[in-house]
Amino acid sequence: MRRTRAGTVGVWLLAGTALVAADFWEEKDFTTWSDQEVEKMLTDSPWAKQVRSIVGGGRTEVTVAWSTALPIRQATVRQAIGLGTPIPPESQQELEMDPPVYVVTLSGLPPTLRWLTTTVPAIEAETMLKRKDKTPIAVESVRLFQNKQSQLISLVFRFPKTDVITVEDGEVELVTKLGTSGGLKKKFKLSDMVFGDQLEL
């Protein structure tokens, strides 16, 4: 009897662990994601991480996100259309496309850093995606945008897909430099970035 009870308890514990481990993006259609879940996807998920950086002599917290990853694109659409709203045809078409490049966005920079516009060539020279034992992928282009409402600044990095990143690479690290002292690095674990049955970047 004791063994049977112990076995039953063990099964329930394993089931409970499985339930806790499941993430909302694995269980729910993105159109039903809550505002809090959308925010988590865009700022604190396998595809988006917050990191502190020193820029222009001050310390600031920014978000690094893989904007071309399907879960990030889904969260962006859900944020724009609202909860439970039908997806517009143009948004559906965008979600179905296979982006020809990797796009990584660095967002949340304060408006006082607008001077970064003048340093784009220098940023391009210092920005890359690094993997162990492989040649870094150099950035293709860097663009700077400023949100009209919040005035916060975003840097959009486009990387070519000529050297495809795979789960077998283990990790990929964004490396960039903003100004003379604004070094920034952030690693992403690729096995955590599998969505459905494929790697999403």
Global confidence as pTM = 0.85
pLDDT at 112 (0 to 100):
83
At 108, the amino acid letter reads G
C-alpha dihedral (173, 197, 45, 40), degrees to nearest 10: 150
CB of 16 closer than 8 Å to CB of 53: no
For residue 97, what are the CA distances in angstroms to 18, 69, 93, 159?
Answer: 32, 11, 6, 17
Q: Identify the bridge partners of residue 51 per DSSP, sorted by sequence position.
A: 62
pLDDT at 172 (0 to 100):
97
Question: What long-range pairs does 52-59 form, CB within 8 A, spacing at least 24?
Answer: 53/178, 53/182, 53/183, 53/184, 54/181, 54/182, 54/183, 55/109, 55/113, 55/116, 55/178, 55/179, 55/181, 55/182, 56/112, 56/113, 56/115, 56/178, 56/179, 56/181, 56/182, 57/181
Domain boundaries, the chain: 25-199
For residues 137 and 45, give the distance between their C-alpha atoms in angstroms, rounded to a whole number.
23
pLDDT at 21 (0 to 100):
58
CB of 63 closer than 8 Å to CB of 44: no
* Tens of pLDDT, residue by residue, the chain (201 residues): 444 444 444 444 444 444 455 788 888 899 999 999 999 999 999 999 998 876 666 687 889 999 999 999 999 999 998 887 888 888 888 899 999 999 999 999 888 888 888 888 999 999 999 999 999 999 999 999 988 888 999 999 999 999 999 999 999 999 998 876 667 899 999 999 999 889 999
pLDDT at 102 (0 to 100):
97
At 187, the amino acid letter reads K
For residue 64, what are the CA distances in angstroms to 69, 87, 154?
Answer: 12, 26, 10
pLDDT at 141 (0 to 100):
94
CB of 169 closer than 8 Å to CB of 134: yes
